[in-house]
Amino acid sequence: MDSRSIAAEALRLLAESDGTVAVAESLTGGLVAAEITAVPGASKSFRGSVTAYATELKHRLLGVDAELLARDGAVNAQVAAEMAAGVREALGATWGIATTGVAGPEPQDGQPVGTVFIAVAGPGGGKTAGLRLNGSRGEIRRESVRTVLELLSSELRENARGQDTEQNGGI
Residue 49's closest CA among 88, 3, 78, 81? 88
> Confidence band (pLDDT; 50, 70, 90) for 162?
confident
In this structure, what are the phi and psi dihedrals at residue 23, rounded to the nearest 5 degrees?
-120, 135
pLDDT at 170 over 70: no
pLDDT at 160 over 90: no
In this structure, what are the phi and psi dihedrals at residue 51, rounded to the nearest 5 degrees?
-100, 100
pLDDT at 112 over 70: yes
At 85, is the secondary structure helix, strand, or coil?
Answer: helix
> Confidence band (pLDDT; 50, 70, 90) for 164?
low
Q: What is the reported pLDDT for 171? A: 52
Q: Are 88 and 126 in contact (CB under 8 A)?
A: no
Whether the bond between 107 and the residue before it is cis, its omega within 30 degrees of 0, is no
Angle between helices 77-90 and 55-62 (to 10 degrees): 40
Longest CA–CA separation in the chain, Å: 53
User: How large a percentage of the chain has pLDDT more than 70?
Assistant: 95
Residue 100's closest CA among 123, 130, 60, 56? 130
Q: pLDDT tens digits for 40-95?
A: 999 999 999 999 999 999 999 999 999 999 999 999 999 999 999 999 999 999 99
The DSSP bridge pattern shows strands 21-25 and 95-101 to be: parallel
Q: pLDDT tens digits for 96-108?
A: 999 999 999 999 9
Q: What domains, with CATH codes, occur in the chain? A: 3-162 (3.90.950.20)
